[in-house]
């Protein structure tokens, strides 16, 4: 196995002990990016080699006792977060020349742990839509077929991992933004319990509980490393999820565990042919490991969940982008305008009604978690589609009524801020990857990752089927 295909845990162990130098890893990383990135366009705003090699050389001078959890590891940050000295374009021409003058909180935590930031990973414009393309950096191709979508909005991150350009990556997730790319790129993505990984304390810090930052990697063990670095409360924020360190992740003993398979939500989620069968086969791995797997009927109205979701999502998105609608409407893509106009048309009572539905679904889900250790859904309802298509408009004969309805299967998790591990499920008839979502009650992050590690040890999909 080449150095850039090694696990993050192996690389970091070598970097801390000194058996691997940061300069050797940086050189291998930049060589791999030069080799692979042209075909997929995952890493953007790449810093110059000389500066990065100089930083790696400085990292090698740090005494072993002072080396942090990410010491010397090259990382590219999703192009929605600020990294001091690097452009934060958000995929928008409005910000293509905006150089960050500070690190976001998550980035600062990674830097303090010793990470070396090499550039950014590509994202859709403003992170909207589960397909990574924008007018600044272009589209990111799927590592198993670059003519197809890699998902989004953490598409560049997933592709960088799958192709061995990075060993760890950050993502963010409102509506499957790190789960769908993980599924379509044969890697892992973790949406933590909401508020476990805090965002920067900007604007309103009380009302919006849909989006979160989270780690991505080629195994749950590696995800746990980055999760521990970026987790933890910030005293400037009113909400704080308990964030006890996961530490060195051990696989769960699945004997006696109960897993609920939700499939297509009793027919509510149309699916492309082959997805349900492949994902159900993946769930069978838990049975092979000793768990009980039960097929469950839909536990709540999918339409009620959707009604709540699109109201709360538009309300949240509009609060951030409304000033741009008023001043630069001609520079915004259609989906952004749609979200903003819906959000600003809502009354306080509209938001209240949506949140009452969310509360009712939370109660129903809590009841389920009294009987089940985790629930499972597919990560997407369609296979990766053509790079030139903005989004699917139809699934299995069902017309989609919004630009994001085709990703409805991720919404039950997002609406409640639940922890969720996106895991590779294998490959379909056309050789394309798909994934499953393993999710539990708030605060069950460590338990989900341990179950995911047991699954990974039994499957090792990212290692058995590496991308280009």
Q: Within the chain, how many helices (H) and strands (E) appear?
A: 14, 17
Tell me which residue of 182, 186, 135 sits closest to 157, measured CA to CA.
182
Contact 145, 162 (CB under 8 A): no
- pLDDT tens digits, the chain, 468 residues: what are they? 699 999 999 999 999 999 999 999 999 999 999 999 999 999 999 999 999 999 999 999 999 999 999 999 999 999 999 999 999 999 999 999 999 999 999 999 999 999 999 999 999 999 999 999 999 999 999 999 999 999 999 999 999 999 999 999 999 999 999 999 999 999 999 999 999 999 999 999 999 999 999 999 999 999 999 999 999 999 999 998 777 899 999 999 999 999 999 999 999 999 999 999 999 999 999 999 999 999 999 999 999 999 999 999 999 999 989 888 888 888 788 999 999 999 999 999 999 999 999 999 999 999 999 999 999 999 999 999 999 999 999 999 999 999 999 999 999 999 999 999 999 999 999 999 999 999 999 999 999 999 999 999 999 999 999 999
Using the Cα atoms of residue 22, residue 25, residue 28 and residue 30 in order, give the sign of their dihedral.
negative
Please state the domain count of the chain. 1
440 found inside a domain: yes
Residue 44 backbone phi and psi in degrees, to 5:
-125, 165
158 found inside a domain: yes
Contact 213, 230 (CB under 8 A): yes
14 token code pair:
């070598």
C-alpha 243/C-alpha 446 separation (Å) is 9
Q: Where are the extended beta strands (E) located within 98-144? A: 116-121, 133-134, 138-139, 141-142
Contact 288, 255 (CB under 8 A): no
C-alpha 313/C-alpha 174 separation (Å) is 8
Tokens 């839909």 sit on residue:
298
337 found inside a domain: no
Q: For 153-188, give the DSSP string.
A: SSHHHHHHHHTTS-SEEEEEESSSTTHHHHHHHTSE
**How buried is residue 147: exposed, middle or buried, by Cβ count under 10 Å (0-12/13-18/19+)?**
exposed
> What single-letter DSSP state applies at residue 87?
B
**Residue 355, Cβ neighbours under 10 Å: how many?**
17
175 found inside a domain: yes
Residue 436: CATH number of its domain: 3.90.1300.10
260 found inside a domain: no
308 found inside a domain: no
Contact 197, 234 (CB under 8 A): no
Task: Return the SS3 of 420.
Answer: strand
324 found inside a domain: no
The model's pTM is: 0.98
How do 133-134 and 138-139 pair as beta strands? antiparallel
**How buried is residue 177: exposed, middle or buried, by Cβ count under 10 Å (0-12/13-18/19+)?**
buried
Residue 316 backbone phi and psi in degrees, to 5:
-70, -45
233 found inside a domain: yes
Please give the residue range of the domain that contains residue 28.
3-255+419-464
Cβ-count burial 208-221 (b if 16+ within 10 Å, e if not) = bbbbbbbbbbbbbb
């Amino acid at each position: 196995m080449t150095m850039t295909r090694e696990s993050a845990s192996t690389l970091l162990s070598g970097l801390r002990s000194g058996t691997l130098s940061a300069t050797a890893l940086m050189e291998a990383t930049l060589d791999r990016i030069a080799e692979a990135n042209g075909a997929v366009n995952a890493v953007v705003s790449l810093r110059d080699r000389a500066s990065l090699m100089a930083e790696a050389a400085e990292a090698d001078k740090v005494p072993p006792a002072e080396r942090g959890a990410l010491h010397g590891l090259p990382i590219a940050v999703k192009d929605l977060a600020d990294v001091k000295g690097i452009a934060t374009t958000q995929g928008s021409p409005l910000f293509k020349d905006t150089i960050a003058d500070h690190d976001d909180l998550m980035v600062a935590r990674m830097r303090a742990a010793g990470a070396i930031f090499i550039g950014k990973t590509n994202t859709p414009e403003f992170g909207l839509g589960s397909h990574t393309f924008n007018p600044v950096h272009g589209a990111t191709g799927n590592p198993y077929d670059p003519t197809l979508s890699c998902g989004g909005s953490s598409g560049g991150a997933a592709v960088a991992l799958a192709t061995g350009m990075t060993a760890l990556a950050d993502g963010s997730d409102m509506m499957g933004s790190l789960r769908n790319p993980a599924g379509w790129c044969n890697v892992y993505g973790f949406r933590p319990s909401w508020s476990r990984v805090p965002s920067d304390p900007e604007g309103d810090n009380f009302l919006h509980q849909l989006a979160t930052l989270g780690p991505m990697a080629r195994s749950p063990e590696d995800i746990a490393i980055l999760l521990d670095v970026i987790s933890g409360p910030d005293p400037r924020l009113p909400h704080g999820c308990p964030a006890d360190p996961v530490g060195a992740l051990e696989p769960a003993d699945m004997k006696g565990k109960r897993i609920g398979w939700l499939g297509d939500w009793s027919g509510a989620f149309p699916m492309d042919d082959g997805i349900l069968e492949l994902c159900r086969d993946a769930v069978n791995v838990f049975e092979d490991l000793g768990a009980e797997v039960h097929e469950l009927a839909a536990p709540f109205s999918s339409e009620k969940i959707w009604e709540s979701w699109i109201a709360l999502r538009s309300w949240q998105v509009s609060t951030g982008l409304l000033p741009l609608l008023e001043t630069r409407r001609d520079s915004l893509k259609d989906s952004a305008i749609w979200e903003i106009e819906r959000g600003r048309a809502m009354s306080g009572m509209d938001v209240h009604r949506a949140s009452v539905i969310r509360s009712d679904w939370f109660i129903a889900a809590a009841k389920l978690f009294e009987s089940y250790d985790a629930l499972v859904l597919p990560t997407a309802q369609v296979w990766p589609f053509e790079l030139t298509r903005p989004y699917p408009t139809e699934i299995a004969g069902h017309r989609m009524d919004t630009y994001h309805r085709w990703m409805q299967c991720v919404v039950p998790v997002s609406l409640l801020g639940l922890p969720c591990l996106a895991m590779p499920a294998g490959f379909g008839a056309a050789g394309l990857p798909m994934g499953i979502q393993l999710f539990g009650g708030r605060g069950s992050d460590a338990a989900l990752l341990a179950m995911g590690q047991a699954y990974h040890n039994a499957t090792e999909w990212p290692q058995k089927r590496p991308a280009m």
